[in-house]
Amino acid sequence: MTDNILDTIDMRQLGELLQQARNKCGMTQADAAKVINAARTTMVAIEKGERRIKASELIKLARAYGRSVSDFVRPRPTVQPFEVQFRTAYRPQEVEREEIEPVILSWEELCRHYLELEEIMHAPLPRNYPREYEVSGMPVERAAEAIAVEERQRLGLGDGPIPMLRDILEQSVGLRIFYLKMPAKYSELYSYDEKLGGCMAINANHPEERRRWSLAHGYLHFLAHRRKPVLDLVEGQYKRMPESERLAEAFPKYFLMPTSGLLKRFNDMCRANEKFTPTNLFTLAHYYGVSVQALVYRLEEMDLLRSGTWERLRDRGLKVRKVQQELGLEEIPQRTDMDPIHYQHLAIEALDQGLITEGRFADFLGVDRLEARRIAQLLREHSSGMMEESTDFDLRQVED
């Protein structure tokens, strides 16, 4: 490494990387300052990008952090900062901005990591983007259903349930979707960048039914308001819901529970039992992977249940989870991983090919080295299993 590299590198970005590496090691700024024989204030200035680091200092810090110098100085893709904002209809307090800002920054960093891995592996994320839907002048409900029907046809989803919605949006559309822990009031973040494409962050603390709804909700923003970044809240947080948000709220029910398929399923259940029972209600909600409340409201709108059914059930003290357990309905299957599958496999391939260090691999996954090793082993086993299945399939094809 020569001084020339440090003369041209973005010191603010380098400072952020040094700070992240130090935090992962559990070292304080005072500890790091001792490594380079400097005052703590010097370390503060380095991490803020206000003081240019010397080559000898960087080498010492990299060694102390268990990292390679190249982890800090290699070129990284340049992406414009996300400009995610609260909807104008919702006026947050300062404390609310402070609690969600770290989530936004973490999400932005993950999306940059994703692009960096693609460039390292020369494997850009395939995009199957539709045109941006024009909805101006159309009634909200009609526009929402029309977009839902067209998207289902485009993606070959038919009119049944979508059991692996996140996988569809990640792999069949090409969106970058991360699950992040957020305060309960936030449902999802959405942004679009010309380099990154469509990006979403979903609240990992929400139950799977809510996450699926948030995925569909965010997908509408991508389909109809592509270049408008959004921070969405759970229902009931808006003082005045704008039309774009009403469209995003209407879209999931049509996308997750298409009219034709839902009507057929409902009628089949009625014929089998001579009437639609509470057990049918819970079974149908589980079938579509939505909350019982969302299903009841949808059936009410279709005039298949009496208006006010959900309120009556709620007033009677309905315990949804308890009833689901009594009926033997397991929780809706979900992916527990926080990162996109493609992102994980790019990371492990880069590690195994020696293109990134173990420390950088841990950074990409947002974990410490011990956990990174465990995840790496699981990813290798999964990849090996997929290869074996592929080989078996090919052999059977040849034998046939």
Q: Which two tokens stand for residue 336?
A: 């527990």
Residue 80 domain flag: no
CATH assignment at residue 52: 1.10.260.40
Between 334 and 299, the more confident residue is 299
251 and 271 share a domain? no
Residue 78 domain flag: no
106 and 252 share a domain? yes
Total count of domains within the chain? 4
- Nearest one of 305, 288, 287, 273 to 296, comparing CA atoms: 305
What is the percent of the chain where pLDDT is above 70? 83
Last residue of a domain, one of 326, 356, 373: 326
Residue 187 domain flag: yes
- What confidence tens digit (pLDDT) does each residue in 48-100 have? 888 888 888 888 998 888 877 877 877 666 655 566 655 544 455 666 777 88
DSSP-derived pairing of the beta strands 197-203 and 176-180? parallel
- What confidence tens digit (pLDDT) does each residue in 355-399 have? 988 888 988 888 888 899 999 999 888 777 655 554 444 333 333
| Long-range Cβ pairs for the range 7-12 (8 Å, 24+) | 7/52, 9/73, 10/49, 11/49, 11/50, 11/51, 11/52, 11/53, 12/48, 12/49
CATH assignment at residue 128: 1.10.10.2910
309 and 279 share a domain? yes
Last residue of a domain, one of 297, 326, 355: 326
112 and 252 share a domain? yes
pLDDT of residue 51: 87
Cα–Cα–Cα angle for 126, 130, 132, rounded to 5 degrees: 130
pLDDT of residue 77: 63
- Nearest one of 80, 74, 69 to 111, comparing CA atoms: 80
pLDDT-derived band of residue 333, with 50, 70 and 90 as boundaries? low
295 and 214 share a domain? no
213 and 105 share a domain? yes
pLDDT-derived band of residue 177, with 50, 70 and 90 as boundaries? very high
Range of the domain at 28: 3-73
pLDDT of residue 54: 86
pLDDT of residue 219: 96
| Average pLDDT along the chain | 83
249 and 266 share a domain? no
CB 216 within 8 A of CB 165: yes
60 and 190 share a domain? no
pLDDT-derived band of residue 269, with 50, 70 and 90 as boundaries? confident
313 and 348 share a domain? no
Last residue of a domain, one of 204, 239, 256: 256
Mean pLDDT of 192-208: 91
Report helix, strand or coil for 281: helix
Buried b (16+ CB within 10 A) or exposed e, 15-37: bbbbbebbebbebebeebbebbe
What's the pTM? Answer: 0.77
Residue identified by tokens 């011990």 is 370
Tell me: pLDDT of 400 over 50. no
Residue 334 domain flag: no
